[in-house]
């Protein structure tokens, strides 16, 4: 995990991939976690940003981990189920917004 003051360096991202927040990823998207940065408004998640960042780390959301979006809920596409390396985890999209993913392949589609 990074210090909260560190900003994502988009210049270091390969041109053929797309960086998205995990909350914006679609079912079937596959990639690698490039940053976990809790930057939400304090207590927007029910916990402070440091606690959220710690929880995500404990679930395996670490830089370099492979991730795939497996499923999303029927109501407002929430929560989502993801595979982080060999572990399946369900989390709310508002929590997933603090995980940045470099997708393996760029996509042209958007959520309907």
For residue 7, is it within any domain?
no
For residue 88, is it within any domain?
yes
Q: Residue 48's domain spans which residues?
A: 15-103
CB atoms within 10 A of CB 11: 5
For residue 111, is it within any domain?
no
pLDDT at 1 over 50: no
For residue 112, is it within any domain?
no
For residue 110, is it within any domain?
no
Report the number of distinct structural domains present in the chain: 1
For residue 47, is it within any domain?
yes
pLDDT band, residue 42 (cuts 50/70/90)? low
Give the CATH number, domain containing residue 57: 2.30.30.90
The upper half-sphere exposure of residue 80, i.e. CA atoms within 13 Å in the direction of its Cβ, equals 24
For residue 5, is it within any domain?
no
Task: For the full predicted model, state whether its pTM sits above 0.85.
Answer: no
Please state which of the ranges 30-39, 42-51, 68-77, 100-109 shows the lowest mean pLDDT. Answer: 42-51
For residue 77, is it within any domain?
yes
């Amino acid at each position: 995990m990074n210090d909260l003051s560190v900003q994502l360096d988009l210049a270091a991202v390969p041109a053929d991939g797309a960086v998205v927040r995990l909350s914006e990823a679609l079912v079937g998207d596959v990639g690698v976690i490039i940053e976990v940065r809790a930057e939400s408004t304090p207590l927007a998640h029910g916990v402070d940003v440091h606690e959220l960042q710690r929880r995500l780390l404990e679930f395996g959301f670490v830089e370099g981990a492979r991730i795939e979006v497996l499923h999303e809920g029927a109501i407002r596409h929430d929560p989502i189920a993801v595979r982080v390396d060999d572990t399946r985890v369900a989390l709310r999209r508002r929590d997933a917004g603090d995980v940045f993913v470099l997708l393996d392949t760029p996509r042209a589609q958007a959520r309907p």
